[in-house]
């Protein structure tokens, strides 16, 4: 059977941002927590520069980021209850 389109070339994924496979969960969660905290601040600052309809959307995104940050913090507490 004739295919109208050729097979796409096989592509090896980039390893530029690969996480070390044996990295411990506590370190991964700590880095995720820091990244989410930064994203929360960035989105809040960005929302402050917007007018009403767009500001409401940006604040909703900021709230989702904050909720994810809280979940990661709780998971980090579960890994290392200190």
Domain residues of the chain, as ranges?
36-79
pLDDT surpassing 80 at residue 9: no
* Separation between Cα atoms, residue 60 and residue 8, nearest integer Å: 39
Q: Do residues 29 and 79 lie in contact, with contact meaning Cβ atoms separated by under 8 Å?
A: yes
Question: Tell me, what's the pLDDT at 56?
Answer: 96
Rounded Cα distance between 26 and 21, Å, is 14
pLDDT tens digits for range 25-41: 999 999 999 999 999 99
Mean pLDDT of the chain: 89
């Amino acid at each position: 059977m004739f295919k109208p389109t050729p097979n796409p070339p096989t592509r090896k994924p980039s390893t530029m941002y690969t996480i070390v496979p044996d990295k411990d969960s506590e370190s991964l969660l700590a880095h995720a927590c820091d990244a989410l905290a930064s994203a929360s601040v960035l989105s809040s600052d960005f929302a402050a520069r917007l007018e009403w309809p767009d500001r409401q959307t940006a604040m909703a995104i900021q709230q989702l980021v904050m909720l994810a940050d809280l979940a990661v913090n709780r998971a980090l507490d579960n890994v290392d209850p200190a």
